[in-house]
Chain A
Amino acid sequence: MAKVRPKKHPPTIDMTAMTDVAFLLLTFFIMTATFKSQEAAEIDTPSSISAIKVPDDNILMISIGNEGEVFFGVDAQPDRIRMLDNIAETKGLTFTDEQKKKFSNQASFGFPLAQLKGWLDLPAPEMGTVKQPGIPTDSTGVSELADWVYAARKANSQLRIAIKGDNSAKFPTFKNVLANLQSQNINKFNLITDAEEPPAGWRSDSE
């Protein structure tokens, strides 16, 4: 009674196709990745039906936190260093190379000039955990914010100004920011918002 048994093989699944899919997706995500950068504060922006995308580069971002703190950031690292040099020159300050390097790693910051050095002297991991008081602004249009804007535009004249405000930021803060920009004859801004569907039946005039 010798039954002929087929030789047993463990069931194998060909994983090759799955690998193909996995790596295809992986490639896609790597290519499209724009990393979330370390922001000075969490900002919850309002939404609008505007469909204009935020430009990718040459952005000067002024953020308004929910308690009215103002943060300032420039996207390119070389610009950040040049900006710091400019402001150091006009304010008669000096920054060490170490401080400059740390500064250039920060996407945005919100410290008065007097406290900036102290913050830059902190070890890098601690910098993100400190609560930032915001850059002083003033309704007269002459304040540290205006100085920073000037320094940044001197570093890179192509900068476009974007304002990113929190939902619950009060209007006076926004007004002060505007006053600081207008005092330098900057009259065109981008307000950063989340995308929102326009109401049904609404059509843009340009279409």
Chain B
Amino acid sequence: MAEIVESGGGKGKGDGKVRAKKLSTRVDMTPMVDLGFLLITFFMLATTLSKPTSMTLNVPDKQEDKEEQETEPLKASKVLTVFLGRNDDVYLLDGIASNDDKAPEELKKVRFGTELRDGIFKSQKRVNSQFEKDEEGNLPFVVVIKPTEVSTYKNVVDILDEMAITKTKRYAMVDFLSDSEKELLGDRIKPQPGDQ
């Protein structure tokens, strides 16, 4: 504490010596508190407390290496295709190829959130119960993510996040749309003058 207790020096009480009046050594701390809080306020406002998190994204090697590229084509029935459209719309195509006759009816429009998650879970359940694990023990369910040019970066991050939430281990992001897919989605993926 800021007070210093001074002992009076015991005996010399009555010897008549003139002593200087003792000054209090109490220090007023108020300005110091003011300063302290001022600095605290400054540092609180100037710092970024919540550190951003990050999501790792690994993309396949693009180097032309023809030998490794020969993989078995995926069976359409094991695949959920997710198209990212305008205005955060998502189009799901579950288990059929885009050139199938039934594709236009099967194409489901969902929103991000529970609707999309339910769609993924439903498809995941169907595929995983219908097919067996492959030789390496991977679940058969595969998601193909197809961002279109009208989708935003947020959509991409959200769908990758959805993959983490639904624990879909096998997914691929493909930014190439085949002709039949373009036909299927039609105007829904074309940039419109209203878009910024």
Contact across chains for B54 and A33 when beta carbons are under 8 A apart: no
Q: Please state if B46 and A53 are interface contacts (CB–CB under 8 Å).
A: no
CB–CB A182/B59 < 8 A: yes
Determine whether B25 belongs to the interface, using a CB cutoff of 8 Å to chain A: no
Is B98 part of the contact surface with A, judged by Cβ < 8 Å? no
Confirm or deny: B21 has a beta carbon within 8 angstroms of a beta carbon on chain A: no
Q: How far is the CA of A173 from the CA of B39 in the complex (A)?
A: 42
A190 and B36 contacting across the interface, CB-CB below 8 Å: no
**Cα distance, A180 to B130, chains bound together (Å):** 40
Q: How many residues of B contact A (CB 8 A)?
A: 53
Minimum distance in angstroms from A4 CB to a CB of chain B: 22
Q: What residue in chain B is nearest A174 (Cβ atoms)?
A: B153
Secondary structure class of chain B's binding surface, majority of residues: mixed
Distance, CA A164 to CA B36, complexed state (A): 36
A72 CB, min distance to chain B CBs, angstroms: 17
With an 8 Å Cβ cutoff, the count of chain A residues facing the other chain is: 60
**Closest beta carbon of chain B to A149's beta carbon, Å:** 15
Contacts A15-B29, A16-B1, A171-B155; A29 near B40 (Cβ below 8 A): yes
Q: Mark B37-66, 1 if CB is under 8 A from A, else 0.
A: 101100110111111111111111111000
A25-B40, A53-B51, A53-B54 known; A168+B154 contact, CB < 8 A:
yes
B161 close to A50 (CB less than 8 A)? yes
Q: How many angstroms from the CA of A175 to the CA of B177 in the assembled complex? A: 14
* Chain A residues positioned under 8 Å from B29 (CB to CB): 14-16, 18-19
A166 near B46: Cβ-Cβ < 8 Å: no
Q: Is A193 a contact partner of B56 (Cβ separation < 8 A)?
A: no
Contact B33 A18 (CB under 8 A): yes
* CB-defined contacts of B43 to chain A, threshold 8 Å: 26, 29-30, 33
Interface status of B26 (Cβ within 8 A of chain A): yes
Contacts of B53 in A (CB 8 A): 48, 50-54, 192-195
Known contacts A52-B53, A162-B54: A34-B164 contact under CB 8 Å: no
Which residues of chain B are near A64, meaning CB under 8 Å?
Answer: 153
Which chain A positions have C-beta within 8 A of B30?
Answer: 15
CA distance A51 to B50 in the complex (A): 12
Give every chain B residue within 8 A of A76 (Cβ-Cβ).
Answer: none
**Shortest Cβ gap from B56 to chain A (Å):** 6
B11-19, B68-76, B100-108, B144-152: which lies at the interface: B144-152
The digit string for A162-182, where 1 denotes a CB below 8 A from any CB of B, is: 101111111111110010001
B157 touches A191 (CB 8 A): yes
Report if A38 contacts B (CB, 8 A): no
Flag if A15 contacts B28 (CB, 8 Å).
Answer: yes
Stretch at the interface among A83-91, A115-123, A126-134, A197-205: A197-205
Residue ID in chain A nearest B34 by CB atoms: A22
Cβ-defined partner of A171 (8 Å) among B1, B61, B149: B149
Please tell me which one of the listed residues B32, B37, B49, B52 contacts residue A194 in the complex, with CB atoms under 8 A apart. Answer: B52
Task: Decide yes or no whether B139 CB sits under 8 A from chain A.
Answer: no
Judging by beta carbons under 8 Å apart, are B149 and A172 in contact?
yes
Tell me which residues across on chain A come within 8 A of B32, comparing CB atoms. 15, 19, 22
B154: which A residues are within 8 A, CB to CB?
46, 165, 167-169
Whether B153 contacts A12 by the Cβ 8 Å rule is no
Bound state CA distance, A136 and B1, in angstroms? 63
Known contacts A170-B153, A174-B153, then 18 further A-B pairs from the complex at CB < 8 Å, ordered by chain A residue: A22-B37, A23-B36, A33-B43, A48-B160, A48-B161, A49-B161, A49-B164, A49-B165, A50-B164, A67-B196, A164-B52, A167-B152, A169-B153, A170-B149, A170-B151, A171-B153, A172-B149, A192-B54
